[in-house]
A = this chain, B = another copy of it.
Amino acid sequence: MPTTREQACFEAGIKFGSLYHQFAGTPVSPDSTRSLETAMAEAIENQPYCESVTVAIDDDRVADTIDHENGYTELTGSLMTVEMHIAYEGVTARTRMEMEDGYPLMKLVGVVDEADE
């Protein structure tokens, strides 16, 4: 049987895949970054065990990526930083998506079991 820590990590991964593939491709411009960040965070926080979600879309990178004929671009992993805390039966998994070596990486940052504290 998987342990509680392993279950917490599985749940944390589900939230990351969900957030990314639900919202990647959304039309975005510097005028709509704040509303998209809020909606992404509040949507994923609805999911089970999801304690907190923070999404920061980088206005400068959005502006640099924009197709200037159209005035917008589509959301991708390279335009945002995401942090999530998943709490599953006393275990908290902390995750983060950020650019590393030019690629957006989804990372499991830490796993803490409150029973061990």
Contacts and interface: CB of A to CB of B under 8 A. Distances in A.
B6 A29 contact: no
Interface in A22-52: 22, 24-29, 31-32, 35-36, 38-40, 42-48
A106 interface: yes
Question: Chain A, interface size: which category?
Answer: 35 or more
A74 B26 contact: no
A17 B21 contact: yes
Nearest to A93: B10
> What 6 A-B pairs have minimum CB-CB distances, sorted nearest first?
A13-B13, A17-B17, A39-B39, A46-B72, A17-B18, A32-B42
Given A7-B9, A11-B13, 10 more contacts: A5-B6, A10-B12, A13-B16, A14-B14, A14-B106, A17-B19, A31-B42, A32-B42, A35-B39, A36-B42
